Amino acid sequence: MTFSLHRLYSFRRCPYAMRARLGILFAELQVELREIILKNKPLQMLAISPKGTVPVLQLLGGEVIEESREIMTWALAQNDPQELLDVEVMHQANALIDKNDNEFKYWLDRYKYADRHPEMTQETYRQRGEAFLQVLEELLTKHTYLLGEGITIADIGIVPFVRQFAHVDRDTFYSLPYPNLQRWLQDWLTHPLFTQIMTKYQPWQEGDDVVVFP
């Protein structure tokens, strides 16, 4: 079967899928969106990406991109009108996203699902995760976004994970001594492109009409 748009398998609340969708929006691209249910993953997705996690981007030429960072980079390499791939900060951006993905996400998962990880208390997991929040807070004392006065790939690559951390316990998050991070997150939650990626779609099923995103 042929298709006329790159095809994105996604899940609305997954932070990895969220940043992939942000990359697509900032690149001003359009894709066919297939919203999935994690407990009932479509065979069409598993056939091209057996690892079974989202996001998965199937390009028109047949190539499959299975990692959210690669999807962001691919999208912005096609078109980057706001210069999110600013060469002057890419080394720092990549280092920050590495820290998010390899360290912060570990503690975030344990904080969110503390009942599954009784080795430590939820409070301890939160405090371990705060080490990264402190790094972000320090950066945001200097400028509006993480690496300057303009949005970079670091912002869109990290904000879905900070959002998830904050939403574990909103009252606690907003009581923490990170006013610049809290401001940054609130600005993002009301950003037009962020609100656009949070639009709800019905889970895709074979035979459904094509859903174009955005």
Predicted pLDDT of residue 1? 45
The model's pTM is 0.95
Q: Which residues of the chain have pLDDT under 70?
A: 1-2
Predicted pLDDT of residue 4? 86
Q: Which fold does the domain 7-82+195-213 belong to in CATH?
A: Glutaredoxin (3.40.30)
User: Could you report the per-residue pLDDT of 175-204, keeping only the tens digit for each?
Assistant: 999 999 999 999 999 999 999 999 999 999
- Domain-by-domain residue ranges, the chain? 7-82+195-213, 90-191
Predicted pLDDT of residue 2? 52
Cβ atoms of residues 157 and 17 within 8 Å: no
Residue range 90-191, CATH number: 1.20.1050.10
Report the share of the chain in percent with pLDDT over 70: 99
Predicted pLDDT of residue 92? 97
